[in-house]
Amino acid sequence: MIMKGFQFNLNRVLDVRKLEEQLSRNRLLGEKHKAAQIEGELEELNHKQHKIYNYLREKDNEITVEEMLQTRNFIHRQRRQIKQVSGKLSKQMTEVEKCNTEFIEKKKKKEILEKLKEKEYQQYRQELFRKEQQLIDEINQQLKKGRWFE
What confidence score (pLDDT) does residue 11 get?
A: 93
- Give 36-84 pLDDT, tens digit per residue: 999 999 999 999 999 998 988 888 778 888 988 998 999 999 999 999 9
Position 2 scores a pLDDT of 54
Mean pLDDT of all residues belonging to the chain: 92
Q: Which long-range contacts (CB under 8 A, 24 or more apart) does 124-129 make?
A: 124/6, 125/6, 127/3, 128/3
Q: What is the pTM of this model?
A: 0.76
- In the prediction, which pLDDT does 150 show? 53
Contacts of range 102-108, beta carbons closer than 8 Å, 24 or more positions apart: 102/24, 102/27, 102/28, 103/21, 103/24, 103/25, 103/27, 103/28, 106/17, 106/20, 106/21, 106/24, 107/21, 107/24
Task: Provide the H-helix boundaries in the chain.
Answer: 11-58, 65-145
Please report the pLDDT score of residue 65 as a whole number. Answer: 86
pLDDT tens digits for range 73-84: 999 999 999 999
| Contact between residue 17 and residue 109 where contact means Cβ atoms under 8 Å apart | yes
> What share of the chain in percent tops pLDDT 70?
95
Neighbours of 110 (CB within 10 A): 21
Domains identified in the chain and CATH numbers:
11-112 (1.10.287.1700)
| pLDDT at residue 18, rounded to an integer | 97
CB-count exposure of residue 46 (10 Å: 0-12, 13-18, 19+): middle
Of 114, 100, 91, which is closest to residue 17 (Cα–Cα)? 114
State pLDDT tens for residues 116-130. Answer: 999 999 999 999 999
